[in-house]
Amino acid sequence: MKRAENKSPEAPIDRRELMRRAVYMVGGAAALAGLEGCSGAEGNVQPQTRGSAGRYFSAIRMDQLRAVIDVMIPATDTPGAIAAGVPEFMDDMMRDWASAETRSQMKAVLDQIDERAIRVGGRSFRRLAPEHQLAVLEGYDAHSFEVWNADYQRFKDLVLLGYYHSEIGATQELRFELIPGRWDACVPLGDMRTWAD
């Protein structure tokens, strides 16, 4: 009866999802904290170690991607994009989402960043010292907005999506409520952070 091709994965709802729904329906957001405590960190992405290939990118590309992403959204007083699994997200998106054209655009961006690193610093981006990596990426980013490099804009969009839609990005860096339960239309900003989606 169901048309499988027309549904996103037919995956049966797992136990955790069912429990969570039950909790939401009964207790709303307040019950969330306790449940998440029980279920542990199984939802967290485990960042891969240096040197391993991704599902799409080669090991070298993954290293390069990790280096760029780490500089773009570093760990500060909150975890950064590496902890949030953004390199793995980008790799997954190349396999599961991107067209051939998008894949080559993303590779082109990594190549352009490396070219700049070699021109400015004499070695590929992933081998540069952190402060030089930041200078190279800042220069490339600024230039890309001057000349409107659409490939880079798409790359940056994906990195930001990967971070701000991750559990870390949404809940630790920004502010996230799956079930707000109220609409306060006009409140003082104070030290509130940007709402996640």
Residues 71-110 that bind other proteins (CB under 8 A): 71-74, 76, 78, 80, 89, 92-93, 96-99, 101-102
Measured from the CB atom, the residue of 51 and 190 that comes closer to other proteins is 190
- Is 37 a binding residue for other proteins by CB under 8 A? The answer is no
Q: Which of 24, 31, 35, 48 binds other proteins (CB under 8 A)?
A: 24
- Is 55 a binding residue for other proteins by CB under 8 A? The answer is no
Which residues are bridge partners to 195 per DSSP?
Answer: 175
- Is 38 a binding residue for other proteins by CB under 8 A? The answer is no
Alpha-carbon Rg of the chain, whole angstroms? Answer: 20
Contacts of 79 (CB under 8 A, 6+ apart): 168, 172, 173
Which residues are bridge partners to 175 per DSSP?
Answer: 195
Do 67 and 133 form a contact (C-beta atoms < 8 A)? yes
Do 36 and 96 form a contact (C-beta atoms < 8 A)? no
CB of 53 to other proteins, least distance (A): 21
CB of 99 to other proteins, least distance (A): 4
